Chains A and B, each alone.
Chain A
Amino acid sequence: MEKIKLQNIYFQYDGTNTPILEDINLSVTAGEFICVLGPSGCGKSTLISILSSLQKPTSGHYYIDGNEVGSPGLERGVVFQHYSLFPWLTARENIVFGIRQSRKDISKKECNQVADVYLEKVGLADYGDYKPAHLSGGQQQRIAIARALAMNTEILLLDEPFGAIDTKNRHSLQKLISDLHEEEKKTFIFVTHDIEESIVLADRIVFMIPKQVYKIIDVNISKPKEYEQMRNETDFINLREELVDLFYRKHKNLSYDQMEAQI
Chain B
Amino acid sequence: MSEPAKWNFRHPLFKIVNLPNLLFLAIIYMISWPSLVNTKSPVILIIVVCLVELYFIIGCLIQNKRRCLDISSILLAFFAFWQYSTKTGRGHSLLMPPMENVLYVLYSHRVELFKGLRSSLELIFWGLGLAIILAVVLGILVGWFVRLREAVMPIVGVISPIPALAYTTYVVAIMPSFKSASVVVIFLGVFWAFFSLVIRTVGTMDQKIVESARVMNVGSVTMIKDVVYPYVLPTALRHLPSSFATAFMCLTGAEMIGASSGLGFFIRKYAEYANYTNVLAGIIFMGIVVTLLSNVIKLIQKRFIKW
Check B212–A73 contact: CB distance below 8 A: no
Interface size on A (CB < 8 Å)?
Answer: 25
Collect the chain A residues with CB atoms within 8 Å of residue B118's CB: none
B147 an interface residue at 8 Å Cβ cutoff? no
Collect the chain A residues with CB atoms within 8 Å of residue B212's CB: 78, 80, 84-86
Which has the most chain A C-beta neighbours within 10 Å: B217, B226, B227, B231? B217
Check A54–B214 contact: CB distance below 8 A: yes
Query: Chain B's nearest CB lies how many Å from the CB of A82?
Result: 5
A234 an interface residue at 8 Å Cβ cutoff? no
Check B208–A74 contact: CB distance below 8 A: no
Complex Cα distance, B211 from A80, in Å, reads 9
Check A88–B217 contact: CB distance below 8 A: no
CB contacts under 8 Å to B, within A33-90, are: 52, 54, 71-74, 76-78, 80, 82-88
A127 an interface residue at 8 Å Cβ cutoff? no
Check A54–B211 contact: CB distance below 8 A: yes
Q: 0/1 per residue, B175-217, Cβ < 8 Å to A?
A: 0000000000000000000000000000000001101111111
Which listed residue, A80, A87, A151, touches B216 by the CB 8 Å rule?
Answer: A151
Check A84–B209 contact: CB distance below 8 A: yes
Query: Chain B's nearest CB lies how many Å from the CB of A133?
Result: 5
Complex Cα distance, B227 from A132, in Å, reads 15
Collect the chain B residues with CB atoms within 8 Å of residue A131's CB: 306-307
Complex Cα distance, B209 from A133, in Å, reads 14
Complex Cα distance, B209 from A76, in Å, reads 17
Closest B residue, CB atoms, query A77: B215
Check B307–A97 contact: CB distance below 8 A: no
Check B227–A54 contact: CB distance below 8 A: no
Complex Cα distance, B213 from A131, in Å, reads 17
Check B208–A80 contact: CB distance below 8 A: yes
Closest A residue, CB atoms, query B306: A131
Check A74–B307 contact: CB distance below 8 A: no
Are A98 and B208 also in contact (CB < 8 A) when A88-B230, A131-B306 are?
Answer: no
Which has the most chain A C-beta neighbours within 10 Å: B209, B212, B213, B216? B216
Complex Cα distance, B164 from A225, in Å, reads 68
Collect the chain B residues with CB atoms within 8 Å of residue A101's CB: 216-218, 222
Q: 0/1 per residue, B209-247, Cβ < 8 Å to A?
A: 101111111100010001100110100000000000000
Collect the chain A residues with CB atoms within 8 Å of residue B215's CB: 52, 54, 72, 76-78
Complex Cα distance, B216 from A133, in Å, reads 21
Collect the chain A residues with CB atoms within 8 Å of residue B216's CB: 72, 74, 97-98, 101-102, 151
Complex Cα distance, B230 from A132, in Å, reads 15
Complex Cα distance, B216 from A52, in Å, reads 10
Complex Cα distance, B70 from A223, in Å, reads 67
Collect the chain B residues with CB atoms within 8 Å of residue A86's CB: 209, 212-213, 227, 230
Collect the chain B residues with CB atoms within 8 Å of residue A77's CB: 215
Collect the chain A residues with CB atoms within 8 Å of residue B307's CB: 87-88, 131-133
Collect the chain A residues with CB atoms within 8 Å of residue B209's CB: 84, 86
Collect the chain A residues with CB atoms within 8 Å of residue B230's CB: 86, 88
Collect the chain B residues with CB atoms within 8 Å of residue A88's CB: 230-231, 233, 307
CB contacts under 8 Å to A, within B293-307, are: 306-307
Collect the chain A residues with CB atoms within 8 Å of residue B227's CB: 86
CB contacts under 8 Å to A, within B5-39, are: none
Collect the chain B residues with CB atoms within 8 Å of residue A84's CB: 208-209, 211-212
Q: 0/1 per residue, A92-106, Cβ < 8 Å to B?
A: 000001100110000
Closest B residue, CB atoms, query A85: B212
Complex Cα distance, B218 from A189, in Å, reads 22
Closest A residue, CB atoms, query B226: A97
Collect the chain A residues with CB atoms within 8 Å of residue B211's CB: 54, 80, 84
Closest B residue, CB atoms, query A82: B208
Query: Chain A's nearest CB lies how many Å from the CB of B124?
Result: 28
Check B217–A72 contact: CB distance below 8 A: yes
Closest A residue, CB atoms, query B216: A101
Closest B residue, CB atoms, query A98: B216
Complex Cα distance, B216 from A80, in Å, reads 13
Closest A residue, CB atoms, query B231: A88
Which has the most chain B C-beta neighbours within 10 Å: A80, A83, A87, A102? A87
Closest B residue, CB atoms, query A76: B215
Complex Cα distance, B100 from A19, in Å, reads 79
Collect the chain B residues with CB atoms within 8 Å of residue A71's CB: 217
Q: 0/1 per residue, A118-151, Cβ < 8 Å to B?
A: 0000000000000111000000000000000001
Query: Chain A's nearest CB lies how many Å from the CB of B115?
Result: 41
Complex Cα distance, B217 from A101, in Å, reads 7
23 contacts between A and B (CB under 8 A): A52-B215, A54-B211, A54-B214, A72-B216, A73-B217, A74-B216, A76-B215, A78-B215, A80-B211, A84-B212, A85-B212, A86-B209, A86-B212, A86-B213, A86-B227, A86-B230, A87-B307, A88-B230, A98-B216, A101-B222, A102-B217, A131-B306, A132-B307
Closest 5 CB pairs of A and B: A84-B212, A87-B307, A78-B215, A88-B230, A101-B216
In the complex, given contacts A54-B214, A80-B208, A84-B209, what are 8 additional A-B residue pairs having Cβ atoms less than 8 angstroms apart? A52-B215, A73-B217, A77-B215, A78-B215, A84-B211, A86-B227, A88-B233, A101-B222
